Amino acid sequence: MRKKIIAANWKMNMTSGEGVSFMEDLKLELKNFDGAEIVIIPSFTALPRLSEIISELPGITLGAQNMWHEPSGAFTGEVSAGMLREFFTRYVVLGHSERRIIFGETDELVNKKVKAAHAASLRPILCVGETLEERDADRHHEVLAKQLKGSLAGLDAEQMLDTVIAYEPVWAIGTGRTATPEQAQEAHAFIRKTLAEIFDPATAAKVRIQYGGSVKPDNAKELLHQPDIDGALVGGASLDPRSFAKIVQAAARK
């Protein structure tokens, strides 16, 4: 039984003050909720204050949006896994399509980061997903397999179990154009089959695979009840505590 994991990727939004008031509102919306694991992923600068608040909230953990793979050194502007651990960060998003497209991150670099995250006991949320051009050319399986094999190279099964995959079709991010539940389920099943090939079927059956791309309160339930969809990585709709709470609650309802 895979516990659903719903994550709020705030991207470059929200100051730490805004994050604190978001958490106050979210707490009221989700009183005593324990139907899913919740991860809040703010900007680096909001980690210290949110860490204090989240450490007192059972069922909610903290994530970061990125990191560099070296432990320290002359890497101006970068943040290491150890620096994230200082604030009890549990997850780190790696290989988000915005990092791949805007900042030129390759599978090889993402793989180094995935390994460095595990070495520091941080759990990667590894993002994979095809562009619209690739989907229209019916190449999404090829693209997903390449991203998974490249980004997960050298991991053992135990590390894979501590890794979350996020399927985020690039054409569905911030566009309001969600993958249909059938399209998302088909891609998730393909990802699980690929994990079974890279690792083994028992490991693949346990790995959680989130869907991301225009998840909203009104489409969350149908997506989250597909057999291979184990959660959501939410961008825009995670900036409002009420809409994020509705998505979290959708994970629990049958």
- Residues annotated as catalytic (active site), given as ranges: 96, 168
User: The tokens 């990125």 sit on which residue?
Assistant: 66
Shorter beta-carbon distance to ligand 13P: residue 94 or 173? 173
Cα angle 142-145-146, degrees, rounded to a multiple of 5: 85
Helix (H, G, I), strand (E, B) or coil at 174: coil
- Find the binder of ligand 13P among 19, 42, 63, 235 (CB under 6 A): 235
x/- track of binding to ligand 13P for residues 117-156 (CB under 6 A): ----------------------------------------
Shorter beta-carbon distance to ligand 13P: residue 96 or 118? 96
CB of 74 to ligand 13P, least distance (A): 30
**Number of residues near ligand 13P (by CB under 6 A):** 14
User: The tokens 């988000």 sit on which residue?
Assistant: 96
x/- track of binding to ligand 13P for residues 199-228 (CB under 6 A): -------------xxxx-------------
Between helix 16-29 and helix 241-252 the angle, nearest 10°, is 40
Counting every residue written for the chain, the total comes to 254
178: CB partners within 8 A, 6+ apart: 172, 213, 214, 215, 216, 219, 223
Q: What is the binding site for ligand 13P (CB under 6 A)?
A: 9, 96, 168, 173-174, 212-215, 233-237
